[in-house]
Each structure stands twice: as structure tokens, then as C-alpha cells.
Amino acid sequence: MPYRDIRQFIARLDAAGELLEIDAEVDPNEELGAVCRKVLDEGGPALLFNNVKNYPYPVFTNMLGTQSRIALGMDVTLEEMADVFLARSRTRPWLEPAMRDTAPCKEVVIPEAQLRLEDLVPPAVNNPDDGGAFLNYGLVVMKDPDSGRRNMGIYRLQIRPGNRTGIWSSPTSHAGTIRAKNDILGRPTEVAVAIGGDPMLYLASQVQGLNLGDDELELASSLRGEPIDLVKCDTVDLEVPADAEIVLEGRILFGEREAEGPYGEYPGYYGPIGDQPVIQFHHATRRRQPVYVHTYIGVPPSDTHALGQMMGEAGLTAKLRNDVAPTVKEVYCALDMHTVVVSLKKTYEEQAKHVIYALWATRSAKTVIVVDEDIDPRNQEQVYWAIANRSHAPRDVIMGDGFGTIGPATNKYGDTVGSKLGIDATAPLKGYPAMSRPRPEMVKRVRDRWAELTASQKTKLRRGGIG
């Protein structure tokens, strides 16, 4: 049964024993983040803070911090999750969202003269050296000025006085591309930020391998199995989820940059201070008693890493099977979000390297290892074995430049452009020694007899010997 809004998902988590409510007062300046960090490290539940200091509404965090909670968000079992996601996301056309005239997210309208961003966003500082409070789990909606197609993603917004925020988005992200197009035209970029909603919105916003023009709100509808309800914004030409908790409307200002950061990002290090675009918000709407949705970001695990892993595996599997190698068996994305291991049934000799190059072209893949179909990409020891026995470094280890700048490794030696690494750990199609393994028919025989072979046998001790 699809979730109408974040409240229904919170109720489901509670029923499943995946929610911890905290009624004691918690300071959003570092203490809230430290609680999140402790629970994430212990593989614990989602958190609902009911008493956040100097903030009037509940704060919901760690929403999708484990694969089991992502499965609950999709309303499927953990075992079904990957296959269901691929089936729903690859079936085109995706479902069109449904437009509504009225919506829960507009129960309270806040015009520009009454808008105070600090009344809607808690002053949450996750880590001690963050440059300030950030709105870091909003669904940021824009439109491509060329096609008019919607785009939705999650970007960090540093809170500033005067209803302004920074926005950090990679130049290669869809948001970065849309803003650059508007910059060329010499005009601002309209933006809406929706906080809270069906968890499918968060999943859809993080899928890798989508093209600019692929509408994540349509994808969310397909993942949900029925249309997401949308409503028109009041002051910008955008549509947002009707069942959101809070909606902020504004514009990325043309030509303006302000210092942004530092910020503890998903690699587990602070990113540097840099000049980034500025959003000026001028209108907001909300529910009467909204739930604010926040996320902790730092070293894995976290919501960001769990979502990145699941969405990366699904998106890259689809991309590779569609564009490069239909015989890709499985893709594993490590929690670091930049290491990818692909198991492949090779059909020609250089296919593994073509997989590496295709993944290098994505923003996220930094280290790519390709193994044969008989290797489990999630099993470290099997992968290491394949590297040791099936890769010849001079030809099978390849390097390149062009990776982004998040994380300190880029500047380890003063370089300004990051690097990429690929390892072809596949055996050649012909001429390699046979592996020392039992024959398939013997494997089947043992499997068929396993219950008999492992049945408990009691020995009987008899006088004069063992009978």
C-alpha cells in the first residue's frame, strides 16, 4: 500500500519496531547530530525528535539509513527490493503525476512579508566544524529552460540571514546544468524546496544514470505504483508534492555567489569553503503542524550512503545492461559511494574495459573493478582472489583523470583534478587454466544429499566396542 505522506511512513516504521521517539529536549547544535551518529553506527532505527530546542515542530531523521528501511519504504521484502526497483524503474513510460487544486502542504500560506526561514528550518549543525546550519534533506525542484521538463534532487542549502541560503551542486549535476543554462540566458533559476513526503520521492531523487529530462517525480510515481499528487506553487512556475510538510519558493539569483561551507560531507571529511550560488526565498507554505525531515551526513553508514548504495546499484545495473553489456550479472556499490564492483559474463575480450569506461563517465564511479560471473561482487575475499589471479597489472589496471573534487584525496599531492582507477579482474575467454573445483554434477549430488549428510547420528557404545 503506497504511503500518502511522511506521516504514514513514520507510523509504518513505528509498527515495525524501526522508530525511536525522543521526548527529552535535544539541542540542534551538534547534539542532535551526535545522537544520529550513535544510532547509525549501531544499526539502529529512525529517530523522531519531539522536543528540539528553539524549534516548534518534530524533527525526523535517519529515515532511510538501512536497506531494511528502504525496503519498508518500497513496501516490499528486502529480498524483493532490487528486482522490484529495476522492474518498476525500467518500465517506460513512467506514470504521470496527478495534479490537485488544493493540498495539505498549503494549509498555512506564508507571504514574503511574514516569511522567516528560521521559523521553518531548525538551526541544525551536524558536525562541530560545519559552517553553520544547513537544510540538507529538501527535495529541490527546478525546470530545464530548454525542454520545460521537471527535475528533482537533494542538495545542501546553507542557511543565511534574510531568507537566503547557499546551494551546493556539482557542475555536472542536473541542478548545476539547469542553473548554467539560465546563467547563459542572464536570468535567475526558479526553485522550490519540498520537505517531507512519500519515501519514493527520496529514492527517485537519488537514482544514478538518469538523463536530464527524466522527471524524477514521474519515476517516483512508477516506484509507488500510482501517481504522486502534485500542486502548483504560488509564486514560481513549478509543481511540488501536494502532501509535503513544508514548501519553500524562491530563485537562484543570477550572477551572485557567496562563501559556502565548510560542511561535513558523505566521504567523512569537511569540504572546503567556496563561492556558491545563492537562493532568495520569498514565499512558503506548510501544514498546520509540520514534521521537519533532516539527515545526518558524515562517514558511513547514513541515509545518504544507504540510498546511494541501493540507487547506485539499481541505476548502474540498468545503464550497463541497456548501453554496454546486457550480460552484466550484478553491480555492487560500496558504502563509500565511489567504488563499484561489476560481475559480468563476458562475450568479447575487451568488454570488461568498456564497462570500466562507461562507469568512469558517471559522476560517482571512481574505482571500478570488473570480475567474472562466477565471482560474488559483494564478497571481498572472492574479489581479492579475482584481482590476484585474473588481472595482469600492466594491461588490466588502468587510470584516468576527471573525477570530482569531493574528499581530500584529490588534493593529496596538490592536484586539482581527481583520478579514476579501473581493474579488469576477468579471465580471458580462451587459454586460461581450468579451475580446481568439483564437477557440477557432484555439486548437485552433494546439495541433494545435504539433509542426509548432515543428519545427527548418535553412536551407541557397546561393551567390547562401538556398535
Query: Could you give the CA distance from residue 332 to residue 342 in angstroms, rounded to a whole number?
Result: 6
Instruction: Map grid coordinates 516506484 to a residue.
Output: 223
Q: What is the mean pLDDT of residues 122-129?
A: 96
Give 227's contacts (C-beta < 8 A, 6+ positions apart). Answer: 95, 96, 97, 98, 221
Say yes or no: 252 and 106 in one domain. Answer: yes
Domain that holds residue 389: 324-425
> Does residue 252 sit within a domain?
yes
In a domain, 14, yes or no: no
Q: Residue 216 and residue 23: Cα distance in Å, rounded?
A: 35
pLDDT attached to residue 82:
86
**Domain assignment of residue 103, yes or no:** yes
Are residues 202 and 139 part of one domain?
Answer: yes
Are residues 285 and 330 both part of a single domain? Answer: no
Say if residue 40's pLDDT is above 60. Answer: yes
Q: Is pLDDT of 464 > 70?
A: no
Checking if the pLDDT of 191 tops 80, the result is yes
CATH number of residue 400's parent domain: 3.40.1670.10
**Do residue 240 and residue 351 come from a single domain?**
no
Residues sharing a CB contact under 8 Å with residue 8, sequence separation 6 or more, in sequence order: none
Q: How many Cβ atoms from other residues are within 10 Å of residue 161's Cβ?
A: 7
What's the average model confidence in pLDDT over 101-128?
97
Could you say which DSSP state residue 136 is in?
-
Q: CA 98, CA 417: separation in Å to the nearest integer?
A: 43
How many distinct structural domains can be found in the chain? 2
Residue 297 belongs to some domain of the structure:
no
Taking only the tens place, the pLDDT of each residue in 364-409 is 889 999 999 999 999 999 999 999 999 999 999 999 876 665 567 7
Beta strands in 215-272 (DSSP E): 229-232, 239-241, 246-260, 263-264, 270-271
Given this model, what pLDDT does residue 308 score?
A: 87
Give the pLDDT score at 413.
Answer: 73
Residues 93 and 214 in one domain: yes
Give the pLDDT confidence of 199-257 residue by residue, as tens digits: 999 999 988 778 899 999 999 999 999 999 999 999 999 999 999 999 999 999 999 99
98 and 191 both lie in a single domain:
yes
Residue 60: inside a domain, yes or no? Answer: no
For residues 142 and 157, what is the distance between their CA atoms, to the nearest angstrom? 15
**pLDDT (tens digit per residue) in 154-184:** 999 999 999 999 999 988 899 999 999 999 9
CATH number of the CATH domain containing 132: 2.30.110.10
Same domain for 199 and 110, yes or no, is yes
Question: Does residue 172 lie in a domain region?
Answer: yes
Query: Does one domain contain both 111 and 184?
Result: yes
Q: What is the pLDDT of residue 172?
A: 82
Using alpha carbons, list the distances in angstroms from residue 405 to 212, 297, 364. Answer: 22, 17, 11
- pTM as predicted: 0.88
Could you tell me the CA-to-CA distances from 409 to 266, 355, 365, 402 in Å, in that order?
Answer: 14, 24, 14, 13
- Which of 243, 268, 289 marks a domain boundary? 289
For residue 227, is the peptide bond before it cis, meaning its omega torsion is within 30 degrees of 0? no
Q: Identify whether 466 is part of a domain.
A: no
Mean pLDDT of 87-113: 95
